[in-house]
Amino acid sequence: MNIRSKASARSTAVGVAYKGQTCTERGYSHGWNKIKLKKSGKVGWVRNDLVHTADDDAHTCIPEDEACHNG
């Protein structure tokens, strides 16, 4: 999935996250999560529905804090 410079599908892609990569959540805005990829350190925005916990391995980015999406 593309990592965006802003919380918008029309913003510039600043990187790519691949299935199995881990990230930390840095923020949230209107259906978008600001993340930091663990390995590369790349920071940007991804759609909330594309970020999942380790229990859901069908998608790409896996935040370490499983509580970040409950609720």
Mean per-residue pLDDT, 24-36: 92
The pLDDT value recorded for residue 57 is 55
**The residue count for the chain:** 71
pTM over 0.85: no
Higher confidence at residue 53 or residue 39? Answer: 39
Distance of CA 16 to the CA centre of its chain: 10
Asked whether the predicted pLDDT for residue 71 surpasses 50, the reply is no
First to last CA, the chain: 24
Alpha helices in the chain (DSSP H): none
What pLDDT digit, counting tens, does each position of 47-69 carry? 998 887 666 655 455 556 555 55
Around Cβ 65, how many Cβ atoms within 10 Å? 10
What pLDDT digit, counting tens, does each position of 6-26 carry? 999 999 999 999 888 888 889
